[in-house]
Amino acid sequence: MTFLHKLAHRLARLKADARTVVSATAVVAGAVIACEKMANPSSPGSAVSQLAVSPKVVTLQQDQLQDFMAVGFTPTGDTAQISVTWSVTGGTLVDTSSQGGRHYGHYHGTACGSFKVAGTSHPGQKSDTGNVTVTCAQPSIASVVVSPASATVPVGQTLQLTATPEDANGNPLSGRTVTWSSGSSAVAAVNGSGLVTGVALGSATITAASEGQSGTAAITVTRVPVASVTVSPATANLQQGQTRQLTATPQDASGNALSGRVVTWASGNTAVATVSGSGLVSGVAAGSAAITATSEGKSGSASVTVTPVGATVTLVGAGDIAECGDATDDSTAALLGRIGGTVFTAGDNAYPDGYYQDYANCWASSWGRYQAVVHPAAGNHEYHDSIASGAADYYRYFFREHGTVVGDSGRYYYSYDLGAWHIVVLNTFIDMSAGSPQEQWLRADLAASTKRCTLAYMHYARFSSGSVHGSYPAVQPLWQALYDYGAEIAIAGHDHEYERFAPQTPDGHLDTARGIRAFVVGTGGGGLYSFGTPLPNSEVRNSSTWGVLKLTLADGSYSWEFVPITGQTFTDSGSGTCH
């Protein structure tokens, strides 16, 4: 029987065995071999010079069979009479066989991937390889498991779900596309990655689907628990027979306000002050009382001081205050403790630039000791000299962490009553123009006030003889509103010195009948500046003394005193009447 006839016979047998047909390359190689004579490598000149394995490249399905053939050649091109050993990097060799000069490795593609089938001649130790790629069909998804299968999530918060497609044996299947949906998106919404957001109280079924199979999770949306209650203002002063509205804000653990919660109010001393169910405090008799607001077991309180009708109150403070590593702010803080009363600040409350750490490290240990009675104003350093900052650290430290009223976030203007006086706190770092939101608010606030006497404080001075900053004409629209409604006093900081002006109009003309008396009190602890040419109506100036301005406010009159820190002597004092 000829070689080609024998090869055709073997191919037919391989087909009958349902194995893969040897490639055309192997047929050609076999035909060439048939034309060559067999040479024994042990004979002179018959050494093995090459081993050829075919096919060189083949692709199979998983569990498919394939015959690889190896043939050795002598230097003269004759077929060498050798033996061959086989090895594989993946899959298995079912068996091996030899016929004439041809040697077969019967390969079984049991594993998926790319592998090598290698043959090595004996003698000669010549090697060659074939490359096989075994592809596997993806198993079908039999189920989808969602974890956790049930969970609760508070309104406004999120919960991550995971979906795991599995085969019929429960094995996880990776790389499959999963789609998510909510059975009630008005209660709980879910995004494409399985992140659930609580929308409203209730229950919802969240479904994960993949290739026609699906799994679910039962989600219950609950209320966010109350972690704290903030009462504002944290301190309040009123006279006997007067009322003051307090507000209570339940908050979550992150300090976010929670709406729709039930709040109950109570007074710690009803003989001094009572409180209604809505937080309206009424002064009964002279003294102090703690007013407490409670929601879901959490409470916050405000300190209320009731003074007799006609009694005087004290307002004391300065601007440009806390500076780490300098004892002057500690010295001015000590004055607050000795004088007592309500504390104002005229901005730039902490240096070097009003960041959270400046308040925590510099302010807290000095003026921060009187946080409960502080009513601050914002300066340019609260904004880090950038309106885009929104003075966020100022709001966080004073209001969110300590409950100190500072006005709405980003605006920082507000008002309060102190004894017989109406006090207005303005923000000179934002828009102050006529018709601006702040100017319109100021006019409405002054129109609604029932007090005869009015005092305002802010950071930038409408009038200042200071050589570093000086006067700010942009403040004039706010001064005009104060003048139109008969305000008595305007206090500012920014220039680090003390200056007092005679009563004057918003454009700087002396007006002893209706004019506003201005003070610049940038003496709270920051490094002191110097004066330039004195402005008209400037009555007293000092640039070498740290201290605070003490104001004694009565019904229809006031007096002032600049109080220096220990070891310094400059002072200034006087009095006036309300318009």
* Percent residues over pLDDT 70 in the chain: 92
Alpha-helix runs per DSSP H in 427-578: 437-448, 476-484
Q: Annotate 20-47 with b (16+ C-beta within 10 A) or e (fewer).
A: bebbeebbebbeebbebeebebeeeebe
- The residue ranges of DSSP E strands in 319-370, in sequence order, are 342-345
Report the distance separating Cα 284 and Cα 307, nearest Å: 9
Q: pLDDT value at position 38? A: 62
534-563 average pLDDT score: 97
Q: pLDDT value at position 40? A: 66
Q: pLDDT value at position 100? A: 85
Identify the three-state secondary structure at position 305.
strand
**Residue 357 is encoded by which pair of tokens?**
């750490």
For residue 150, CA distances in Å to 204, 207, 216 come to 10, 12, 9
List the domain boundaries for the chain: 3-135, 143-222, 228-296, 313-577
Q: pLDDT value at position 529? A: 97
Report the distance separating Cα 116 and Cα 109, nearest Å: 11
224-263 per-position pLDDT tens digit = 899 999 998 888 888 888 888 899 999 988 888 888 899 9
Domain 3-135 grouped into CATH 2.60.40.10: yes
Greatest alpha-carbon pair distance for the chain in Å reads 137
Architecture of domain 228-296: Sandwich (2.60)
Alpha-helix runs per DSSP H in 417-564: 437-448, 476-484
Q: Does the structure show a pLDDT above 90 at 14?
A: no
- The residue ranges of DSSP E strands in 324-466, in sequence order, are 342-345, 374-375, 414-418, 421-425, 453-457
**Residue 217 is encoded by which pair of tokens?**
């999770």
327-373 per-position pLDDT tens digit = 999 999 999 999 999 999 999 999 999 999 999 999 999 999 999 89
Least confident of 132-141, 233-242, 271-280: 233-242
Report the distance separating Cα 270 and Cα 276, nearest Å: 11
Least confident of 238-242, 288-292, 550-554: 238-242
Report the distance separating Cα 577 and Cα 493, nearest Å: 23
Q: What is the average pLDDT score of the chain?
A: 91
Report the distance separating Cα 557 and Cα 563, nearest Å: 20
Q: pLDDT value at position 565? A: 98
Q: pLDDT value at position 478? A: 98
| Gyration radius from the chain CA atoms | 45
Element (DSSP H or E) covering residue 201: none
Amino acid at 26: A
Superfamily of domain 313-577, CATH level 4: Metallo-dependent phosphatases (3.60.21.10)
Q: pLDDT value at position 366? A: 96
**Count helices and strands in the chain by DSSP H and E runs:** 7, 41
24-30 average pLDDT score: 38
CB 221 within 8 A of CB 203: yes
28-39 per-position pLDDT tens digit = 334 333 444 566
93-124 per-position pLDDT tens digit = 989 999 989 999 999 999 999 999 999 999 99
Amino acid at 176: R
Least confident of 9-13, 313-317, 334-338, 519-523: 9-13
Identify the three-state secondary structure at position 186.
coil
Element (DSSP H or E) covering residue 72: strand 65-73
CA 288 to chain centre: 40
277-284 average pLDDT score: 94
Q: In sequence order, which residues have a C-beta less than 8 Å from that of residue 446 and are 6 or more positions away?
A: 422, 424, 454, 481, 482, 484, 485, 487
Element (DSSP H or E) covering residue 395: helix 392-395
451-502 per-position pLDDT tens digit = 999 999 999 999 999 999 999 999 999 999 999 999 999 999 999 999 999 9
**Whether the domain at 228-296 and the domain at 313-577 fall into the same CATH topology:** no
183-224 per-position pLDDT tens digit = 999 999 999 999 999 999 999 999 999 999 999 999 999 988
At residue 376 the predicted structure's pLDDT band, cuts being 50, 70 and 90, is: very high
Q: pLDDT value at position 37? A: 56
Q: Does the structure show a pLDDT above 90 at 72?
A: yes
Q: What does CATH list as the number for 143-222? A: 2.60.40.1080
Report the distance separating Cα 246 and Cα 236, nearest Å: 9
Q: Does the structure show a pLDDT above 50 at 11?
A: no
Q: Does the structure show a pLDDT above 70 at 6?
A: no
Closest residue by Cα to residue 141 from 91, 176, 183 = 176
377-393 average pLDDT score: 96
390-419 average pLDDT score: 92
